[in-house]
Amino acid sequence: MLKIAVVTGASSGLGRAYARQLDRMTSLDEMWLIARRAERLQELAGELECKCRVLPMDLKRRESVEALEAMLAEERPEVAVLISAAGFGKFGRAQDLTAQETEDMITLNCRAAVDVTRVCLPWLERGSRVLEVASCAAFQPLPGMNLYAATKAFLLRYTQALRWELRERGVKVTAICPFWIKTEFMAVARDTANPDAVAHTPFAMRPEAVAAWSLTMNGLNRGLVTCGPIPLAMELGSKVLPAWVPMALWDKLRKL
């Protein structure tokens, strides 16, 4: 049986870093790389030793997910690894975002992540690994990047319940909740009507470090990985503090 890894958001940033890490897994027969930018995917595939299938897809479009579902049904592979890293954010208050930005963020960060996971579920075997890239923004409401944080809260809860549902099948499911990452995320997030809603993004992590650490923790069957002390503090704080406390603190820090 063909043993594959499916990586969404593979054209840049964290998805690209995951693909490079997975390239070291000699047990994989193929890596299916999914993103909108075909040239970026081709470039990445040329760097990797593992055989790659380049799948230029816009996951905001349902027909893209349907095409992936059809390919899986035809190939009938074992999805040994699923990494759902496609997503984006926008800085600004709810009133600053356009209708298109609002719809696209919800569609890609929530619906597409769930849809890709859904079509891969029949092809997971005991020992398969699922990593859903959420964010430490999921731990509390965040004025100034309200919608992004809300989409990641959705994905965190979905992943936590998915882990419970798949535990008897022996599938390792992990929600990844890092801090800022040094990727194209920042430029995309600031391309909005209110780019200064978040003034600075300090202590950003390298995508390679996040990918390596989260894959290690997923291998140990950890359900949630924060990838650093700041997001860990945010996770712990969200368990003991009323929501208005981190919101008020964040509302001051984001303007500094």
Rounded distance between C-alpha atoms, residue 69 and residue 63, angstroms? 10
The catalytic residue among 148, 179, 213, 250 is: 148
SS3 label, residue 131:
strand
158 labelled catalytic: no
Rounded distance between C-alpha atoms, residue 148 and residue 151, angstroms? 5
Rounded distance between C-alpha atoms, residue 103 and residue 196, angstroms? 22
Whether 79 contacts 124, CB under 8 Å = yes
Rounded distance between C-alpha atoms, residue 78 and residue 254, angstroms? 44
Hey, which residues does 79 pair with through a beta bridge?
A: 4
For 138, the token pair is 């999921």
Half-sphere CA count of 196, side-chain side, radius 13 A:
2
Q: Report how far apart, in Å, the C-alpha atoms of 230 and of each of 70, 179, 181, 205, 240 are.
A: 41, 7, 13, 11, 16
Kindly report the number of other CB atoms within 10 A of residue 155's CB atom: 25
By annotation, the residues acting in catalysis are 148
